[in-house]
Structure 1
Amino acid sequence: MTDKTKHKPYQPWIENYPEGIDYFAEIDTTPVPTRIEQAVKEHASLIAMDFLGAETSYAEMGDQIERMAGALQKELDIKKGSRVALLLPNTPFFPVIYYAALKVGASIVNCNPLYTHSELTHILKNSDADILVTTDLKLTLEKAEKLMQENLADKLVVSHFPTALPTLKKFLFKIFKGKDLAKVESVSVQQKTISWHDLLDKNLKADPVEIDKDDMAVLQFTGGTTGLPKAAVLTHGNIAANLSQIDLWGVDLFRPPATLAAVIPFFHIFAMTVCMNTPLTSGVKVAMLPRYERKSLLEMINRTRASILPAVPTLSHALATAPEREKYDLSSLKIGISGGAALPNETKQAFSKATGGRIAEGYGLTETSPVLCCSPLYAPNKDNSIGMPLPGTDVQFLDVEDPTKFVAPGERGELVAKGPQVMPGYLDNDEANEKSFFEGYFRTGDVGYVDEDGHIYIVDRIKDIIICSGFNVYPRTIEDALYQHSDVDECNVIGVEDEYRGEAPIAFVKRVEGSTLTEEQMREHLKQYLSKIEMPREIIFKSELPKTLVGKLSKNDLRDEYNKLKKS
């Protein structure tokens, strides 16, 4: 083990911090339920949520939270230590149940509606959920019913989706999209099912519950890219700290009359923190969509005059380069916040051209609530950098070959982090916790470095590094080179087995519409940027590249697709 007295943290960002932001500022860890109550009092008359045109004021949201908290506590026996699983798309139901459950001391278990039955079973079993909350959309209710048939929760709470819509859309939905709704068919599950609206109608008020910053607030399962998902324990202090850090970094960004466009799903850690908790504890309006559709997002930004857009790079790119974008006024967008994947410079430029605003790249993980670093929002930032650590966050780098040693300043290594937003550990998983921390730093699995000005750069994921003839080849380096060609719309690089080199990179490219770019032309372009070892063994052109639910380009799906192709 490294002698702790020999390692002096290298923190060049402190003397180069953006003007007006204090790295050593006090981090507020007041629990989110208390902050929501304060926001409701201070901004009662302002609009909290806009759902496809249906508006809910802060006062109305606060009333619903209070009544749902009372019903959870007094009708469903949800108390401190209980676990409430949410299987919901972005709707006004999500924030209400989230804050109501936290208010009575329960923990939230976020579930991805597009997960398979086996993945959802794993989450509910491992979280020991007491109740499952969903809506009567067929996509979610049919999955929820199957889970309830296996007794994976005691009660099922179901909201009626059309009630969240504006009056006209509610009427039209019932006529034209009634087939998208479902009912619980199983008699045994019907007996365990309770209507959301019946619970609210009881008009119950919750008894006060004392909440400590070290109490578990959210059990957030990781994406499961390396086996079954692990459950990260995020405390009230972790989540509250990250809200405070984001607010400090944003200066006055999250203040009324700002409007945030929430299109990435709240069950994802990025959206939960940046699209829901941060704005709603600050009096900002959250305009939400139940799922991403380009036209719907363009219409919503145009209608609501949204000023903040958190998104993954592929979504920002699609918005900024949409053929129909000229039909909509996007000039209200002042700040885009990019997360979830590397942000190409081309996307930054396209966003600025389309909106007149600027887009900043952030970085974080499920285990860090999630934000660790972000590019300056109002000061110059460097290309390909994820910015600087947020206030109160320390970032260092471990030797990739020997992760018991810190590398010298400026050298590449595994990014490790400390801060009040970093989880205490995974639930009931001593082995994973032992591997995930070193000297109090959380090991991210990402390879990067810090420059002399304190800007952090991510080179790649450790698990994505391709070992070619004994040399480390980084997919992101190849992707950055591919993006330098004007005919490349999207690209993704994976490593595959290679008889001669051990592993070799394979590049998948989506060309811009109308392009006739050939593999030969692409290789000629890449010679300017890549060594022979880094040159892809194959360049495969595709009309679309697979993405995750939040819109990130998916290497896992490409690996599966490529392996099936080679076996056939």
Structure 2
Amino acid sequence: MERENWIWADHYNHPVPWNSRFEPLSVPDLLTGMAAKKPLAPMIDFMGRRYSYADVAATARRVASGLHRAGIRRGDRVGLFLPNIPHYVAAYYGAMMMGAMVVNFSPLYTAEELRHQVEDSGTRLLFTLSAKALLPTALEVLEGSSLETLVVGSVAGALPPARSLLYRLFKGSEVAHAPDDPRIVRFSGLIDNDGAFPVVAFDPEQDVALIQYTGGTTGTPKGAMLTHQNLSANARQVALVDPHSGEDDRIIGVLPLFHVFANTCVLNRTVFTGGEMVLLPRFDAMQVISAVERTKASYLPGVPTMYQALLDHPSIGLADFSSLRVCISGGAPLPQELKQRFEQVTGAVLVEGYGLTESSGVISANPYEGLNKAGTIGQPLPGTKVKLLDRDDYRLEAGEGQPGELAFSGPQAMKGYWRRPDVDAHMVVDGFLRTGDVATIDPDGYIRIVDRVKDMINVSGFKVFPSQIEAVLYRHPDVREAVVIGIPDSYHGESPKAFVTLGSVARATGAELKDWLNPQLGKHERVVEVEIRETLPKTLVGKLSRKELVAEEKEKAAARAQG
């Protein structure tokens, strides 16, 4: 039986009631509703070229019409193999308008990765760009998969006239040319129509809007089925925890839109508030600084490595960040030293939140104003419940005061995995979706992530949390980035090993860091080595990644065993 009282309800610090309800709403309605309300308001700034809500809505309707004429029907899968450009936004809303399911693909995918997910999802049509970084990969997949149609856009066409000319003159080496093939359609040709298409009646709570593949940190990536209501509700949840939502709302969109974090916190959330997205195709610290200064942006969502890169840039001390109100950090734990320094340098509030692909983006966040607890991921979003499950038997709740696997329920919880009912059966417990993260919840209802269930290191039967060791490492003034993994150990089973990068003027050696670190740790937490590297592996969204390091160490162990 579900408990009646939730611990955070009596101490809720977000500006709306915790038990707020979110009526069913389709994703296209976010756009068409705002276009009707504020047609001339700017929606996108792309390298200085601005697109109004009316502009984007009209282009999205022409995308929907073009897709219908191309034979795409309700329930078909339409893929986006695109960076952050206006084409992405129009294709995203346009495909959903006519009832198709959007499938996001990272522009960094290899042909094999893209082919696998195209086949798994059954994607019929794919949007991409005439860029050497994208088009050759898409053409290879067109030839070697069941993909039927490729729609190719041009970056130059989205730029302001002067920049478009310069791009054509000086960036020609980056442009790839599509062959003459009936399966290949120009984006301009697809949208050359009157925008008419058969009206689709949505069931927002049942109809899948987006198939979003998980990061695949273990095993094969799975496609999370996110309904229209999942996405629209999460956009509204995120917007409503902001006490200044809709006030001079200008957000830097440098997080990749193909990732669920940006899909909710940059794209859908901003459309719901009627704000403006300043889109940047990739992260470059100087470009981000210039974009904030040029547009007087009020929000800058990112991952911790992005904020660190901004602080490391030589121009940071001269940058004007006075317009920034809030920077939302997600994707990875936010080191407190980084939070404090970023807030000191910029004057903006750096808020840590938490979510995952299966939650449409966000589950919890620290309040934008009021009690902001360092090292926590804040309180659940409005309409969201969380509880802790026993780490050894997820069918039971964790003991009082004990860490447990975080599980949640709410309107943002996915419908299930695409064609994977076998996995679904283990993911949901009494209506709560398991996250795979170990957490604690304090008396005020603030959640603290201890670690990933799968990342825990088993040292002679003792569970060691890598994040706790990393938190100590970040206290050392020379440490810039830190990742801890478990490596094979013939005696203990596993032992912790740390990998770090150092600051530009750092002098510490790995041995010195080990000697500094281990006295501050419990016996079973002590690392066998601290290895210093120039760089550490990162995921597609820019957060530090363990899986490559784990694979390296397993190979070393296997080689030692054979030798």
Shift of 1:240: 1.2
Shift of 1:237: 1.1
| Contact in 2 for aligned 1:413/1:447 (Cα 8 Å) | yes
- Matched with 1:340 is 331
Q: Which moved more, 1:527-536 or 1:219-228?
A: 527-536
- Matched with 2:170 is 176
1:407-453 residue CA offsets vs partner (Å, 9 max, x unmatched): 13331011111111101211121210111111111111100110111
Equivalences for residues 262-411 of structure 1 within 5 A: 262-411=253-402
In the superposition, the TM-score normalised over structure 2's length comes to 0.96
Q: 1:80 aligns with which of 74, 81, 96?
A: 74
| Contact in 2 for aligned 1:10/1:409 (Cα 8 Å) | no
| 1:26 correspondence with 2:21 | yes
Shift of 1:153: 1.7
Shift of 1:233: 0.7
| Contact in 1 for aligned 2:378/2:446 (Cα 8 Å) | yes
Shift of 1:94: 0.5
Shift of 1:9: 6.7
| 1:140 correspondence with 2:131 | no
| 1:94 correspondence with 2:85 | no
| 1:47 correspondence with 2:42 | yes
Structure 2: how far apart are the matches of 1:9 and 1:466? 36
Equivalences for residues 5-24 of structure 1 within 5 A: 5=1, 8=3, 11-18=6-13, 20-24=15-19
| Contact in 1 for aligned 2:364/2:378 (Cα 8 Å) | yes
- Matched with 2:456 is 465
Structure 2: how far apart are the matches of 1:231 and 1:529? 41
Amino acid at match of 1:250: D
| 1:131 correspondence with 2:122 | no
The sequence identity of aligned pairs, in percent, is 38
Give the match's secondary structure for 2:377: strand
Give the match's secondary structure for 2:367: coil
The aligned length equals 558
| 1:38 correspondence with 2:40 | no
| 1:59 correspondence with 2:54 | yes
Amino acid at match of 1:348: K
Structure 2: how far apart are the matches of 1:512 and 1:9? 50
Structure 1: how far apart are the matches of 2:81 and 2:427? 28
- Matched with 2:505 is 514
1:168-219 residue CA offsets vs partner (Å, 9 max, x unmatched): 221121122111111123x5xx110111111222233223111111101001
Shift of 1:20: 3.0
Structure 1: how far apart are the matches of 2:289 and 2:5? 43
| Contact in 2 for aligned 1:410/1:452 (Cα 8 Å) | no
Shift of 1:10: 6.4
Q: 2:222 aligns with which of 222, 230, 234?
A: 230
| 1:160 correspondence with 2:160 | no
| Contact in 2 for aligned 1:321/1:350 (Cα 8 Å) | no
| 1:554 correspondence with 2:549 | no
Amino acid at match of 1:366: T
1:24-81 residue CA offsets vs partner (Å, 9 max, x unmatched): 11213311111211111222222111111111111211221122222222x2122211
Shift of 1:520: 3.9
Shift of 1:328: 2.0
Shift of 1:505: 0.9
| Contact in 2 for aligned 1:33/1:103 (Cα 8 Å) | yes
| Contact in 2 for aligned 1:400/1:413 (Cα 8 Å) | yes
- Matched with 1:439 is 430
1:489-546 residue CA offsets vs partner (Å, 9 max, x unmatched): 1111111101121101110111111110123432343245311211111100112112
| Contact in 2 for aligned 1:28/1:244 (Cα 8 Å) | no
- Matched with 1:545 is 536
| Contact in 2 for aligned 1:508/1:541 (Cα 8 Å) | yes
Shift of 1:21: 1.8
1:354-375 residue CA offsets vs partner (Å, 9 max, x unmatched): 2101111111110110211111
Amino acid at match of 1:26: R
1:333-366 residue CA offsets vs partner (Å, 9 max, x unmatched): 1101011111110111122012101111111110
Amino acid at match of 1:139: A
Q: Which moved more, 1:283-292 or 1:399-408?
A: 399-408
Amino acid at match of 2:9: I
Q: What CA RMSD, in Å, does the superposition of the two structures yield over aligned residues?
A: 1.6
Change (3 A) 1:368 1:11: same
Amino acid at match of 1:124: V
1:73-100 residue CA offsets vs partner (Å, 9 max, x unmatched): 2x21222111111100110000101001
Please list every run of 5 or more consecutive structure 2 residues that lacks an aligned counterpart in the other structure: none
| Contact in 2 for aligned 1:29/1:238 (Cα 8 Å) | no
Amino acid at match of 1:289: L
Structure 2: how far apart are the matches of 1:261 and 1:28? 28
Q: 2:108 aligns with which of 114, 123, 128?
A: 114
Give the match's secondary structure for 2:201: coil
Structure 2: how far apart are the matches of 1:77 and 1:351? 50
| Contact in 2 for aligned 1:332/1:355 (Cα 8 Å) | no
Shift of 1:323: 2.3
Structure 1: how far apart are the matches of 2:348 and 2:177? 45
Structure 2: how far apart are the matches of 1:528 and 1:22? 45
Q: 2:182 aligns with which of 177, 191, 194?
A: 191
| 1:244 correspondence with 2:236 | yes
Shift of 1:317: 1.8
| Contact in 1 for aligned 2:115/2:145 (Cα 8 Å) | no
Structure 1: how far apart are the matches of 2:70 and 2:79? 14
Give the match's secondary structure for 1:395: strand
Structure 2: how far apart are the matches of 1:142 and 1:64? 26
| Contact in 1 for aligned 2:440/2:447 (Cα 8 Å) | yes
| Contact in 2 for aligned 1:135/1:160 (Cα 8 Å) | yes
Structure 1: how far apart are the matches of 2:322 and 2:150? 43
Change (3 A) 1:489 1:151: closer
Structure 2: how far apart are the matches of 1:430 and 1:396? 23
| Contact in 1 for aligned 2:390/2:399 (Cα 8 Å) | no
Please list every run of 5 or more consecutive structure 1 residues that lacks an aligned counterpart in the other structure: none
Amino acid at match of 2:184: T
Structure 1: how far apart are the matches of 2:421 and 2:342? 44
Give the match's secondary structure for 1:274: helix
Structure 2: how far apart are the matches of 1:56 and 1:65? 12
1:457-479 residue CA offsets vs partner (Å, 9 max, x unmatched): 10000110000111000000000
In the superposition, the TM-score normalised over structure 1's length comes to 0.95
| Contact in 2 for aligned 1:36/1:281 (Cα 8 Å) | yes
| Contact in 1 for aligned 2:260/2:357 (Cα 8 Å) | yes
